[in-house]
């Protein structure tokens, strides 16, 4: 034999090794991100998907179809687009962005195809342009980890390459690691401040294999305010080259598609600290639960002033202040970065309790706070369908969804002339008959004196007095009130509201029924226009 193999290296083994190498090369070209410049085309969408879908904008204006069936969106046949991807275009190297300027496309047969081919084995949301430039920070606490976090891990975590979860205790949840945000707090507080008694309690319970979710949550809240500043520093240390840092709570849904579209319009070299702005005494800050956004430049400014003396100051102030998001506002103010408002892109309600008013309509939706795991799942399904339906080879994820679109998905199919055992949170106007056996109210009516109750009643007109008798009479009072779009009735009380909310199911024993004046809802929708320009505005 001319070819002698080294001892122990049979032809079979050689073949196996060769096959493994081949697999590795194939894997690298298909799955690993190319480093450097984003290969995506970042051009914003010319018009919204909705108008494209309708084909003709005049039709869109006069559209009165409330019955858009989103389940059909899933059935759209994209096979023709997908077969295109079977022959993967090599991921463009970092030189290719310059290549475009010189007019040398990587494949002359497909001029302009500078994008990365869609990879069906990776979630579409993870392949959106700019995904790798963002660090998402989720703040949670050890007592709520198993109640709130898993839903984020089976949805958002699939989209975000750079995700960091901070808690008050280091632990693993499935394949995910949770960092302890508080392990570097000065011993003077960590070992002596009363807020940290609970910190040590949960660590002890955890070490003994105890279920810390059984421990009190109010104490967890007191610890929570210590996290925001250390979290930001830890995230920056881990990802110093990231362009953006976005922080949310575990009960916040993050609209990833829209976030990336917003960020692609902004420059990370500009100082930016944005969110839903509130005041605390003299401090303006971005509320933590609704999420806040920091550019790399802003974080660098924060890092620049982060000296040991300053950290000591921050910890001293944290020990007396209410909240961690306020403390971050204090720190960013010292770093010379003023907070800017991004409401309503960042806002506090889940879809069921949002009041769908004009300021929201043409704005992209980025955060929804106070979401239950159910809401996260529903928003996730909506967003996944949206990404899929609007995906194009050239501009993946380039179409933002607006509150208007969420209205069509979450509200219109879920409102009706009458829904039994349903509370729609009406309450602009409340008609209640003063009576001994009155069902408890959810508002201040119960606390009023008998005289006040009687006086309120005496001021009502006949139709309004009659409205407390039945659901239909309550509807009649709503119809008589020019602005009323929805109402809810339970024996003895009729409540009207001008704005639209879905609300939620209630126990039959609460004897609640809700209704909407669908023509007025439709008229309201039409009066809001078609949102030619999505409002990505930051004040």
Nearest to 474, CA basis, from 535, 441, 426: 426
Give a three-class secondary structure readout of 239-256: CCCCCEEEEEECCEEECH
**Nearer of residues 194 and 442 to ligand NAG, judged by Cβ:** 442
As to burial, measured by CB atoms within 10 angstroms (0-12 exposed, 13-18 middle, 19+ buried), residue 426 is buried
**Nearer of residues 118 and 314 to ligand NAG, judged by Cβ:** 118
**Nearer of residues 427 and 492 to ligand NAG, judged by Cβ:** 427
List 60, 124, 131, 149, residue binding ligand NAG (CB under 6 A): 124
**Stretch 76-115 residues interacting with ligand NAG (CB under 6 A):** 78, 82
Shortest CB 531 distance to ligand NAG, Å: 21
Taking residues 339 to 358 in sequence order and writing x for each that binds ligand NAG by CB under 6 A, - otherwise, the string is ----------------x---
Shortest CB 83 distance to ligand NAG, Å: 11
Residue given tokens 């209640």 in the structure block: 432
Nearest to 89, CA basis, from 109, 62, 103: 109
**Nearer of residues 318 and 486 to ligand NAG, judged by Cβ:** 486
DSSP β-bridge partners for residue 254: 367
List 47, 428, 469, 511, residue binding ligand NAG (CB under 6 A): 428
List 52, 427, 434, 492, residue binding ligand NAG (CB under 6 A): 427
Should residue 143 be labelled a site residue for ligand NAG when binding is judged by CB under 6 A?
no
**Nearer of residues 118 and 245 to ligand NAG, judged by Cβ:** 118
| Ramachandran region, residue 310 (left: φ > 0; alpha: ψ -120 to 50; beta: rest) | alpha
Query: 295 by DSSP, 3-state: which?
Result: strand
Euclidean distance between CA atoms 268 and 290, whole angstroms: 21
How far is Cα of residue 404 from the mean position of the Cα atoms in its chain? 16
**Nearer of residues 37 and 78 to ligand NAG, judged by Cβ:** 78
Residue nearest to ligand NAG (CB): 427
**Nearer of residues 347 and 426 to ligand NAG, judged by Cβ:** 426
Query: 364 by DSSP, 3-state: which?
Result: strand
Should residue 423 be labelled a site residue for ligand NAG when binding is judged by CB under 6 A?
yes
In the numeric block, which tokens belong to residue 490? Answer: 């339970």
Shortest CB 474 distance to ligand NAG, Å: 15
List 184, 194, 211, 442, residue binding ligand NAG (CB under 6 A): 442
Shortest CB 496 distance to ligand NAG, Å: 9
Euclidean distance between CA atoms 142 and 327, whole angstroms: 21
DSSP β-bridge partners for residue 422: 505
DSSP-derived letter for residue 360 is T
**Stretch 447-506 residues interacting with ligand NAG (CB under 6 A):** 497-499, 504, 506
**Nearer of residues 184 and 442 to ligand NAG, judged by Cβ:** 442
Size of the site for ligand NAG (CB under 6 A): 19
Shortest CB 426 distance to ligand NAG, Å: 6
Shortest CB 208 distance to ligand NAG, Å: 38
List 388, 414, 522, 530, residue binding ligand NAG (CB under 6 A): 388
As to burial, measured by CB atoms within 10 angstroms (0-12 exposed, 13-18 middle, 19+ buried), residue 202 is buried
* HSE-up of residue 335 (Cα within 13 Å, Cβ side): 28
Shortest CB 387 distance to ligand NAG, Å: 6
Should residue 267 be labelled a site residue for ligand NAG when binding is judged by CB under 6 A?
no
Beta pairing class for 292-295 and 244-249: antiparallel
Nearest to 173, CA basis, from 210, 142, 208, 214: 142
Shortest CB 422 distance to ligand NAG, Å: 9
**Stretch 505-524 residues interacting with ligand NAG (CB under 6 A):** 506
Shortest CB 499 distance to ligand NAG, Å: 4
Cα-based distances in Å from 294 to 250, 268, 278, 298: 18, 8, 16, 6
Give the distance between the most distant pair of CA atoms in the chain: 112
**Stretch 167-226 residues interacting with ligand NAG (CB under 6 A):** none
List 244, 292, 356, 391, residue binding ligand NAG (CB under 6 A): 391
* HSE-up of residue 69 (Cα within 13 Å, Cβ side): 4
Query: 207 by DSSP, 3-state: which?
Result: helix
Residues lying near ligand NAG in the complex (CB under 6 A) are found at 78, 82, 118, 120, 124, 355, 388, 391, 423, 425-428, 442, 497-499, 504, 506
């Amino acid at each position: 034999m001319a070819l002698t193999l080294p001892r122990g290296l049979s032809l079979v083994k050689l073949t196996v090794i060769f096959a493994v190498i081949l697999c590795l090369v194939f894997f690298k070209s298909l799955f690993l991100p190319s480093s450097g410049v984003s290969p995506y085309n970042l051009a914003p969408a010319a018009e919204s998907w909705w108008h494209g879908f309708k084909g003709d904008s005049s039709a869109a204006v006069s559209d009165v179809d409330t019955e858009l069936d989103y389940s059909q969106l899933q059935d759209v046949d994209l096979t023709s687009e997908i077969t295109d991807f079977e022959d993967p275009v090599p991921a463009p190297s970092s030189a290719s962005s310059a290549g475009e300027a010189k007019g040398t496309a990587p494949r002359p047969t497909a001029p302009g195809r500078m994008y990365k081919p869609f990879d069906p084995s990776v979630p579409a949301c993870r392949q959106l342009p700019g995904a790798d430039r963002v660090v998402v920070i989720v703040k949670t606490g050890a007592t709520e980890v198993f109640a709130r976090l898993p839903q984020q891990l089976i949805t958002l975590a699939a989209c975000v390459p750079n995700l960091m979860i901070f808690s008050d205790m280091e632990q693993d949840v499935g394949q995910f690691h949770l960092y302890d945000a508080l392990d570097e707090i000065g011993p003077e507080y960590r070992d002596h401040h009363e807020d940290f008694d609970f910190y040590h309690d949960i660590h002890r319970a955890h070490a003994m294999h105890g279920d810390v979710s059984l421990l009190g949550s109010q104490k967890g809240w007191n610890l929570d305010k210590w996290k925001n500043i250390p979290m930001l520093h830890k995230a920056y240390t881990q990802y110093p080259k990231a362009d953006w840092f976005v922080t949310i709570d575990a009960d916040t849904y993050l609209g990833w598609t829209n976030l990336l579209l917003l960020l692609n319009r902004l420059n990370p070299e500009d100082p930016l600290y944005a969110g839903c702005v509130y005041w605390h005494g003299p401090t303006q800050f971005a509320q933590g639960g609704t999420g806040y956004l920091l550019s790399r430049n802003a974080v660098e400014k924060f890092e620049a002033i982060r000296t040991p003396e300053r950290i000591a100051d921050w910890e001293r102030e944290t020990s007396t202040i209410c909240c961690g998001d306020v403390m971050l506002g204090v720190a960013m103010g010292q770093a010379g970065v003023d907070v800017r408002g991004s409401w309503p892109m960042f806002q506090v309600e889940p879809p069921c309790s949002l009041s769908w008013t004009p300021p929201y309509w043409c704005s992209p939706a980025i955060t929804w706070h106070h979401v239950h795991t159910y809401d996260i799942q529903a928003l996730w399904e909506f967003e996944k369908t949206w990404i899929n339906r609007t995906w194009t080879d050239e501009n993946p994820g380039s179409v933002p969804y607006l509150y208007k679109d969420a209205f069509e998905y979450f509200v219109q199919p879920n409102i009706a002339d009458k829904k039994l055992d349903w509370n729609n949170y009406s309450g602009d106007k409340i008609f209640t008959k003063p009576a001994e056996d009155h069902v408890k109210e959810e508002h201040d009516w119960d606390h009023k004196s008998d005289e006040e109750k009687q006086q309120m009643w005496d001021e009502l007109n006949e139709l309004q007095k009659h409205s407390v008798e039945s659901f239909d009479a309550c509807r009649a009072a709503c119809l008589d009130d020019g602005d009323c779009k929805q109402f809810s009735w339970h024996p003895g009380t009729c409540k009207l509201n001008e704005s639209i909310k879905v609300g939620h199911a209630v126990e039959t024993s609460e004897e609640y029924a809700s209704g909407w004046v669908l023509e007025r809802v439709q008229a309201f929708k039409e009066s809001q226009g078609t949102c030619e320009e999505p409002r990505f505005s930051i004040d």
